[in-house]
Amino acid sequence: MPMPKKFAVAKRKAEREEKKQKLLTEKAEREAAEAAGIKLPKKPRANKFAYPTPDPLPPPEPLTVAQAMDATRSWNAANVIANKFSVGTLTTTIHSDRAQVFQKMNPLAEEKGSLYP
């Protein structure tokens, strides 16, 4: 059951009073320290528009055949990946590896074909 409105208003009022008292005591402490010659650093203001910069993601690790097949969602996707593995042009491998496999399997590709890996 929710709290009655008058009690909620009284609670918020009490919280505001506590906050005011806390600010007044902090201000009094700061003034006393300044009067004694001690300089206190000011609180840094938080910029509400500054977003935290996320850490960069690690580079993906190359997949093995079994891992790629296990990650598929359907039979068709598994067949597509299997076909890519059979040709050696899987998209998760490094380009230099794909190019080497493609050139081994198709030695005349540079002369006859217009498609490259």
What distance in Å separates the CA atoms of residue 53 and residue 35, rounded to the nearest whole number?
A: 41
Question: What's the pLDDT score for residue 109?
Answer: 62
Question: What's the pLDDT score for residue 47?
Answer: 76
What distance in Å separates the CA atoms of residue 87 and residue 102, rounded to the nearest whole number?
A: 7
Burial code of 56-88, b = ≥16 C-beta within 10 A, e = fewer? eeeeeeebeeeebeeeeeeeeeeeebeebbeeb
pTM for the model: 0.33
**Lowest mean pLDDT segment, chosen from 16-30, 50-64, 98-112:** 98-112
3-state secondary structure of 49: coil
Does residue 115 surpass a pLDDT of 60? no
Sequence ranges of the domains in the chain: 1-40, 65-112
Q: According to the per-residue pLDDT averaged within each range, which of 15-19, 100-104, 105-109 is highest? A: 15-19
> Mean pLDDT, to the nearest integer, of 85-94?
61
Question: CA of 43: how far to CAs of 21, 40, 70, in Å?
Answer: 18, 9, 53
| pLDDT tens for each residue of 49-80 | 777 777 888 888 887 877 877 777 777 777 77
Question: What's the pLDDT score for residue 95?
Answer: 75
Question: What's the pLDDT score for residue 8?
Answer: 86
Question: What's the pLDDT score for residue 74?
Answer: 79
